[in-house]
Amino acid sequence: MPALQHAVRGYLDHLAVERGLAANTLASYRRDLGRYLDTLASVGVTELASVDPGQVEVHLARLRAGDDGHPPLAASSAARAASAVRGLHRFALREGLAGVDPSRDLRPPAPPRRLPRALPVNDVLKLLEAAGSVAATGDGAPLALRDRALLEFLYGTGARISEAVGVAVDDLDTDTGAVLLRGKGGRNRLVPIGGYAVAALRGYLVRARPGLAAAGRGTPAVFLNARGGPLSRQGAWAILRGAARRAGLPGVGAEAVSPHTLRHSYATHLLDGGADVRVVQELLGHASVTTTQVYTMVTVQRLREVYATAHPRALG
C-alpha cells in the first residue's frame, strides 16, 4: 500500500513540523493510523481517494468492539483514533490526494467526562514531607534533596511531568521566583514558583546538583539522576510513587497518586483560593479555557459536598 503509507507519512510530518505535536501524541497517531491502514487493506483499498464513509465507520466500530489481536478501545482512545483518521482525510483533501472527505460527517464517541483527582491540601503536605525522607543523610542526601525539590516544583508550578524534567538551569530564576516551561505544541510560558519550592530548589542546586552533575557528561537539565544524566519521566514517576507510599496515600487504582495529580491539585487549590479561571488557564498552558473549566466543576462538587453535610435542610 505505498500510496496509503506515503499519505500517512506526509500527514505525520505535517503534524510534527507545522502543528508541533508532541512525540508521544505523534506515536499514538502513528499506531492509530497503522490500524486504519490494516482495515483498509483487508477490504482491498489501496488509496485514500477510494475510501467511502461506510469503511471509516466500520473501522471505528471495530476499534470499540476489539478483535483477536486488540482489546476494545475505551471511548477516549477511540475518540483519539477517530481524530487521527479525520485529520488524515482532511489532509488528503487539502493536498489533492482525494476529491472528497469520507470522514466529514463522522461523529467520534464522546469520552466520559471524568473529574480530575485533586488531593486535599493536607495530603499534599504529607506527600511533600515524605519526599526525600528516605536516605536523607550520607550518600543519599543529594537524591533526597532532589526528590523534595522535584515534588515542590511540580506542585508549586503546576508543570506537566515532561515539562519538569525538561527544565534547564537557564530556564530557572530563583531570584525572581519564575521558570520558563516548554509546553505542548511549542507553547512556552513563564510561571511563578512558590516560596517553598524556591527554597527547596536552592537547597538542591547548591548542595546536591553539583555532586550529581560531576558523575555525568554535562547536561543543562535541572533535575538529574544518580548517574548525572537528565532525570527521565519514569524516574520522576518512581520518585512520586515512593513518596506517596511513605505518606500513606493510595498507590493503586483510580485513586493512585500520579504526577498529574499534583497538577490537578495545583489548579483546584488556586481556584478554591479565588484565582480567575483565565489566569489558571495561562498558568497551566491550556490552549483553550474549556480545558481549564473542568477544574471549576471539581470546586463546585466540593461545595455541594460541604453543603450536603453542613446545611440542616440539604437532605430533604
Q: What is the CATH number of the domain that holds 225?
A: 1.10.443.10
Query: How far, in Å, CA of 255 to CA of 259, rounded?
Result: 13
Give yes or no: residues 145 and 70 share one domain. Answer: no
What range defines the domain where residue 21 resides? Answer: 2-94
Q: Is residue 34 part of a domain?
A: yes
Residue 221 per-residue DSSP state: B
Q: Is residue 265 part of a domain?
A: no
pLDDT number for residue 273: 81
Strand order in the sheet with 188-192: 172-173, 178-182, 188-192
pLDDT number for residue 150: 96
Q: Which residue is associated with the grid cell 467520534? A: 108
Give yes or no: residues 143 and 247 share one domain. Answer: yes
Of the listed 184, 233, 246, 302, which one is catalytic? Answer: 184
Q: Is residue 191 part of a domain?
A: yes
Give yes or no: residues 166 and 81 share one domain. Answer: no
Q: How many domains does the chain have?
A: 2
pLDDT digit string (tens) for 159-183? 989 999 999 999 999 999 999 998 7
Q: Which of 237, 256, 275 is the last residue of a domain?
A: 256
Give yes or no: residues 127 and 186 share one domain. Answer: yes
**Nearest by Cα to 167 from 176, 157, 175, 226:** 157
Give yes or no: residues 152 and 223 share one domain. Answer: yes
Band (pLDDT 50/70/90 cuts) for residue 298 is low
Give yes or no: residues 170 and 234 share one domain. Answer: yes
pLDDT digit string (tens) for 79-119? 888 889 999 999 999 999 888 899 888 776 665 556 567 88
202: annotated active-site residue: no
Q: Is residue 111 part of a domain?
A: no
Of the listed 19, 94, 260, 278, which one is catalytic? Answer: 260
Give yes or no: residues 131 and 250 share one domain. Answer: yes
184: annotated active-site residue: yes
Q: Is residue 250 part of a domain?
A: yes
Of the listed 263, 264, 266, 269, which one is catalytic? Answer: 263
Give yes or no: residues 161 and 73 share one domain. Answer: no
β pairing state of 188-192 and 178-182: antiparallel
260: annotated active-site residue: yes
8 Å CB contact between 24 and 104: no
Share of the chain above pLDDT 90, in %: 40
8 Å CB contact between 261 and 119: yes
pLDDT number for residue 79: 84
pTM for the whole thing? 0.61
Helix (H) or strand (E) run with residue 297 in it: helix 294-310
Q: Is residue 107 part of a domain?
A: no
Of the listed 89, 160, 264, 269, which one is catalytic? Answer: 160
295: annotated active-site residue: yes
Give me the CATH number covering residue 19: 1.10.150
Query: How far, in Å, CA of 311 to CA of 12, rounded?
Result: 55
Coil, helix or strand for 49? helix
Cα 140–Cα 143–Cα 144 angle in degrees, nearest 5: 80
Residue 168 per-residue DSSP state: B
Give yes or no: residues 242 and 126 share one domain. Answer: yes
Q: Is residue 10 part of a domain?
A: yes
Residue 239, C-beta contacts closer than 8 angstroms, at least 6 positions apart = 131, 147, 150, 151
Q: Residue 1 pLDDT more than 90?
A: no
Of the listed 126, 148, 209, 286, which one is catalytic? Answer: 286
Give yes or no: residues 23 and 84 share one domain. Answer: yes
Query: How far, in Å, CA of 81 to CA of 60, rounded?
Result: 8
Q: Which residue is associated with the grid cell 491540601? A: 121
Q: Is residue 236 part of a domain?
A: yes
Of the listed 11, 29, 266, 295, which one is catalytic? Answer: 295
Give yes or no: residues 139 and 191 share one domain. Answer: yes
pLDDT number for residue 264: 86
Give yes or no: residues 128 and 224 share one domain. Answer: yes
